[in-house]
Amino acid sequence: MSRAHQLKIGVSGIRGVIGGFLTPNLACAFAQAFGSYVGPGRVVLGRDTRRSGEMIEHAVTCGLLAAGCEVVKVGVLPTPTIQVYVSETHARGGIAITASHNPPEYNALKLFNHEGLFFNQYERAELLDLYHQSTFRQAENAEIRRILTDYESAMRRHIHRVLDHVNVEAIRAKAFRVALDAVNGAGSKMSVHFLREVLGCELHAIAVDPELPFPREAEPKPESLGDLRDLMKRTAAEIGFAQDPDGDRLAVANERGEILDNDEVLAIAVDCVLSRTPGPVVVNLTTSAVIDDVAARHGCPVYRAPVGEANVVERMKAMRAVIGGEGSNGGIIFPGVQYCRDSYMGMAFFLDKMAQTGLRVSEIAAELPRYYRRMGKASYEHGRLGPIMQALEERFSGARIDRSDGLKVVTPEGWIHVRASNTEPLLRIAAEARSQDRVEELYQSALREL
């Protein structure tokens, strides 16, 4: 990978490889810019379990104090839990130190406003300008505030919010046999507590030691969840859950140890919510049409937003959506808890559904209409995206076109979505159709234009 991509400072914040790229100096400066932006009030700070988290935490604390902020350290916690805490405690903002699903050598800062939401695109641009201008607020001795710690209440607050939306007693009564792979991430302790103590499951957990490195690839995808499958086989678990290092993404395995497609996971969550409270749904452009089918069953509309959690959240707020998410990357966003991707609400929805219906996970998934999907990525030359989009549009003349994030072509038999990655010099291609042949055909047609 080229040097340039080992450090990225842009509208999505700051992210990079530890050891010369994402330095404490940069993290401190960025935090001071953030502190200057949100103003001299309380800022919540938490992190995931990566080895570099402690070092970056000290650098970020330094920058926040220098900007005159009061720092509330909440320790190692999932990102959604930090977001809930920010919104409940009326802080000026929050920072989660996590590179989410990126490999362990990376770290990054996720930045939240006073509602615990990701900064919107305008806020992000403003903050970035402030960072580049380097005219930070420089607090004098008398303006430098304290560091507070609250390692206890955040987890409780988050779980409390989740439980408001499921039938806890029904779940507990079933004492489900559950398998968990928390990738030794920020959710390790909380997930064990949540599933075993709170929801009364018979829990079989692996990778729940936050002191140890990630035992598998950080992103919870089928190829990297072999250990979870083995565990499920060994323990005859009824359902399996896998998290990413900061506990926002969730992968679900059925009782046979097969990893559900992320779009299906989202579709089941959407079904759970709409059956109780019908309302609009927002998903990103790359999310499966299965969501439209499920929403249609409840007579609810589906709106689409550009890829990225912040985009989906923004649109959800505008549409007063009751649920949303990004099928492509395992994120369920339920505003009843917080406008963020939340693996805990996801786990609770599944257990609730199982308790309510008495069905197995494979049976629940079988109720969904069948779609075939193909996702991939291709490298491309800068400046080539435009011509590719034009060619595709010509080729599918008559199809419905959406240009809000790259190009999405929707035909009656399926769709293709081509967009440039925000984080890597890659083109992301996704296609979906009712049949395997058709999806292959759509996907290849996009590749040909490359």
Partner 1 sequence: MDKQRSLRISQVGLRGVVGPGLTAAHVLDFAAAFGTFLEKRGKVIVGYDPRASSAMLLEGVTAGLLACGHDVVDLGMVSTPVIQHAIRRHNAAGGVSIGASHNAAEWNALKFFGPNGTYLSTNEAGELLDIYHLKKFDFAEWQQLGKRSADREAMDYYLGQLEQVFDFAALRRFRVLVDCTNGSSAPLLRRMVERYGLQLILINERLEGVEFAHEPSTNRKMVAMQLAPLMRHVGADAGFLFDVDADRVAMATETGEAVSEEMVLVLIAQEMLQMGPGKLIITNLSTTALLEEIASKHGGRVIRGPVGRQAATDMLSGYKPEQIAVAGEGTGAVMMPQFRFVYDGIASMLAVLSALVRRGQTLSALLNALPRYSILKGEVPLETHRIPELLLALEERYADGQRNTQDGLRVDWQDRWFHVRVSQTEPIVRVICEQRGDPPESLYYEIVDLVRSFNI
Are 353 and 364 a contacting pair, CB within 8 Å?
A: yes
Of 58-66, 255-263, 306-314, 409-417, the segment contacting partner 1 by CB under 8 A is: 58-66
Could you tell me which residues are beta bridge partners of residue 95?
A: 45, 111
Q: Is 173 in the site for partner 1 (CB under 8 A)?
A: no
Q: Is 41 in the site for partner 1 (CB under 8 A)?
A: no
Q: Which of residues 1 and 142 has its CB atom nearest to partner 1 in the complex?
A: 142
Residue 215 CA to residue 226 CA, distance in Å, equals 11
| DSSP designation for 2 | -
Buried (b) or exposed (e) across 279-302, using 16+ Cβ within 10 A? Answer: bbbbbbbbbbbbbbebbeebebeb
Of 3, 146, 370, 403, the one binding partner 1 by CB under 8 A:
146
Of 6-14, 101-109, 170-178, 432-440, the segment contacting partner 1 by CB under 8 A is: 101-109
Q: Is 29 in the site for partner 1 (CB under 8 A)?
A: yes
**Would residue 191 show up in a list of annotated catalytic residues for this protein?**
no
Of 8, 15, 42, 50, the one binding partner 1 by CB under 8 A:
50
Of 14, 27, 159, 272, the one binding partner 1 by CB under 8 A:
27
Q: Which of residues 14 and 272 has its CB atom nearest to partner 1 in the complex?
A: 14
Q: Is 130 in the site for partner 1 (CB under 8 A)?
A: no
Q: Is 25 in the site for partner 1 (CB under 8 A)?
A: yes
User: What type of residue is 303?
Assistant: Y
Of 90, 132, 143, 357, the one binding partner 1 by CB under 8 A:
143
Q: Is 362 in the site for partner 1 (CB under 8 A)?
A: no
Q: Is 279 in the site for partner 1 (CB under 8 A)?
A: no
Contacts for 184 with CB less than 8 Å, ≥ 6 apart:
49, 207, 208, 209, 210, 211, 212, 213, 214, 215, 245
- Strand-pair category, 302-305 with 250-253: unpaired
Of 25-33, 149-157, 219-227, 389-397, the segment contacting partner 1 by CB under 8 A is: 25-33
Q: How far is CA 87 from the centre of its chain?
A: 18
The count of residues interacting with partner 1 (CB under 8 A) is: 38
Annotate 328-367 with DSSP letters as a single string: GGTEEE-TTT-SSB-HHHHHHHHHHHHHHH---HHHHHHT
Q: Which of residues 32 and 191 has its CB atom nearest to partner 1 in the complex?
A: 32
Tokens read off for 150? 């609250």
Of 55, 168, 385, 447, the one binding partner 1 by CB under 8 A:
55
Query: What is the smallest separation between the CB atom of 66 and partner 1, expressed in angstroms?
Result: 4
Contacts for 387 with CB less than 8 Å, ≥ 6 apart:
none
Residue 295 CA to residue 110 CA, distance in Å, equals 31
Of 54, 129, 367, 437, the one binding partner 1 by CB under 8 A:
54
Query: What is the smallest separation between the CB atom of 143 and partner 1, expressed in angstroms?
Result: 7
User: What type of residue is 306?
Assistant: P
Q: How far is CA 70 from the centre of its chain?
A: 27
Of 142, 223, 299, 394, the one binding partner 1 by CB under 8 A:
142
Residue 45 CA to residue 77 CA, distance in Å, equals 10
Q: Which of residues 31 and 225 has its CB atom nearest to partner 1 in the complex?
A: 31
Residue of 52, 87, 100, 188 marked active site: 100
Q: Which of residues 45 and 410 has its CB atom nearest to partner 1 in the complex?
A: 45
Report angle CA 371, 325, 87 to the nearest 5 degrees. Answer: 170
Taken in order 202, 208, 209, 215, the sign of the CA dihedral is: positive
Contact characters 59-78, partner 1, x per CB under 8 A:
x-xxx-xx------------
Q: Which of residues 35 and 330 has its CB atom nearest to partner 1 in the complex?
A: 35
Are 95 and 31 a contacting pair, CB within 8 Å?
A: yes
Q: Is 132 in the site for partner 1 (CB under 8 A)?
A: no
Contacts for 410 with CB less than 8 Å, ≥ 6 apart:
399, 400, 401, 402
Residue 314 CA to residue 182 CA, distance in Å, equals 29
Query: What is the smallest separation between the CB atom of 91 and partner 1, expressed in angstroms?
Result: 18
Q: Which of residues 55 and 391 has its CB atom nearest to partner 1 in the complex?
A: 55
Q: Which residues bind partner 1 (CB under 8 A)?
A: 17-20, 23-25, 27-29, 32, 50-52, 54-56, 58-59, 61-63, 65-66, 104-105, 107, 136, 138-147
Catalytic residues: 100
